[in-house]
């Protein structure tokens, strides 16, 4: 009987806290460790896992831009083409914008059929009590062995779907939470995966990095003037995600935002209303203050997070500016970003 081959994964380094070092010239942390140095923090040999390494960028994720999402997706395609028998891919990334980057990769690399795992750390690897070694080892474990066929975030013993995830804590090891529903799985002695995940498969991967980075995220607050919305359009933005209160509510009397939304839409801008709440869904039909946005042509984010809505709108507008097609694509669940649509969640009409 032939011996089973070792698992083979690719480790792509993009920077972030996990690889940060102290810079005396600025008295602060900055990315500085190479991908080879990251691996030195792990047990020698890694058991039955062969690791292929790639340097993609050395970036604090607060500096990440949409073109960096495209570069990461391009690096995934490159290593996939070079090493077709990979079992999975791990990407080290800063936690500040990991949800955005991982969500973008989820849209740009569909049907990959193997785990694409984002991970990082809250404390640099060079610090003795860093959470980096555990997170990196967990990520490699998921990429190599887990029956998972989608992009995920592995952090603090949990496996999250990026488009259903928020960074909730700036200091705790437990940086990320999944929002409605629970994580894709957990890591302990065993890797425990839940049924709603996408298992491994052999479909042909689809790489599509088209994006329109002219998407604006606007948070509603008491006193926000409606004339800010058409000014955003005048700045050249093609889409606006408005974070409303509660279920997507906006002011409809004094400082009503409806007129600004209507003017933006008339100028060819696409407006999506999401919720400032971490948990729950946008329902513009529930209250008159939500209906005010719906009646002038705004679209609902349904159960998407604001982060996922921004990334999805950028991805959709990279493909079309046709209003009917944009509305259709924004209401389509592509990668589990809208798990309640068509189920127990009622879509706004």
Question: Is 26 part of the annotated catalytic residue set?
Answer: no
Alpha-carbon Rg for the chain in angstroms: 21
Angle at 102 between CA 80 and CA 71, to 5 degrees: 55
Pairing of strands 165-167, 176-178: antiparallel
The string of DSSP letters for 56-83 reads EEEE-GGG--HHHHHHHHHHHHHHHHH-
Question: Is 167 part of the annotated catalytic residue set?
Answer: yes
Q: Which residue has the tokens 């039955």?
A: 48
Question: Is 95 part of the annotated catalytic residue set?
Answer: yes
d(CA 253, CA 238) in angstroms, rounded, equals 26
Are 282 and 248 in contact, with CB atoms under 8 Å apart? yes
Are 30 and 61 in contact, with CB atoms under 8 Å apart? no
Residues, the chain = 349
Catalytic residue of the set 95, 151, 165, 247: 95
335 Cβ contact partners less than 8 Å away, ≥ 6 residues apart: 106, 107, 110, 150, 151, 163
Catalytic residue of the set 17, 209, 305, 309: 17
Under DSSP, is residue 143 helix (H, G, I), strand (E, B) or coil?
helix
DSSP state of 199: P
Q: Of 343, 254, 338, whose CA–CA distance to 299 is shortest?
A: 338
Are 199 and 149 in contact, with CB atoms under 8 Å apart? yes
d(CA 33, CA 121) in angstroms, rounded, equals 13
Catalytic residue of the set 87, 96, 212, 348: 96
**Structure tokens, 11:** 């480790």
DSSP state of 43: P
Q: Of 207, 8, 6, 191, whose CA–CA distance to 89 is shortest?
A: 8
Are 180 and 164 in contact, with CB atoms under 8 Å apart? yes
Question: Is 166 part of the annotated catalytic residue set?
Answer: no
Catalytic residue of the set 53, 77, 167, 333: 167
* Catalytic machinery residues: 17, 95-96, 167
């Amino acid at each position: 009987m032939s011996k089973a081959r070792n698992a083979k994964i690719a480790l792509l380094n993009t920077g972030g806290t996990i690889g940060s070092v102290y810079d005396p010239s600025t008295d602060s942390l900055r990315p500085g460790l190479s991908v080879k140095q990251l691996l030195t923090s792990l047990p020698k040999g890694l058991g039955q896992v062969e690791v292929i390494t790639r340097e993609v960028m050395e970036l604090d994720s607060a500096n990440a831009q949409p073109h960096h999402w495209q570069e990461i997706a391009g690096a995934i395609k490159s290593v996939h083409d070079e090493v077709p028998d990979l079992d999975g891919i791990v990407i080290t990334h800063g936690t500040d914008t990991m949800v955005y980057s991982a969500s973008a990769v989820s849209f740009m690399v569909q049907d990959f059929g193997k785990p694409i795992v984002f991970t990082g750390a809250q404390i640099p690897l060079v610090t003795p009590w860093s959470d980096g070694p555990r997170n990196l080892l967990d990520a490699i474990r998921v990429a190599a062995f887990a029956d998972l066929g989608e992009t995920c975030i592995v952090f603090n013993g949990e496996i999250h779907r990026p488009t259903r995830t928020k960074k909730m804590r700036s200091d705790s090891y437990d940086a990320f939470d999944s929002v409605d529903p629970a994580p894709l799985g957990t890591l302990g002695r065993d890797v425990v995966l839940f049924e709603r995940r996408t298992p491994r498969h052999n479909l042909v991967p689809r790489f599509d990095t088209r994006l329109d980075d002219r998407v604006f995220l606007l948070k509603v607050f008491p006193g926000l003037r409606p004339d800010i919305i058409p000014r955003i359009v005048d700045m050249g933005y093609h889409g606006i995600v408005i974070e409303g209160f509660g279920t997507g509510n906006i002011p409809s009397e004094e400082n009503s935002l409806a007129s600004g939304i209507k003017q933006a839409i008339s100028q060819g801008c696409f407006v999506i209303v999401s919720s400032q709440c971490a948990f729950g869904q946008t329902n513009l039909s529930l209250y008159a203050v939500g209906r005010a946005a719906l009646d002038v042509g705004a679209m609902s984010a349904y159960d998407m997070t604001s982060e996922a809505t921004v990334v999805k709108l950028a991805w959709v507008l990279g493909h079309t500016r046709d209003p009917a097609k944009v509305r259709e694509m924004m209401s389509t669940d592509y990668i589990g970003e809208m798990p309640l649509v068509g189920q127990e969640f009622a879509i706004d009409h």
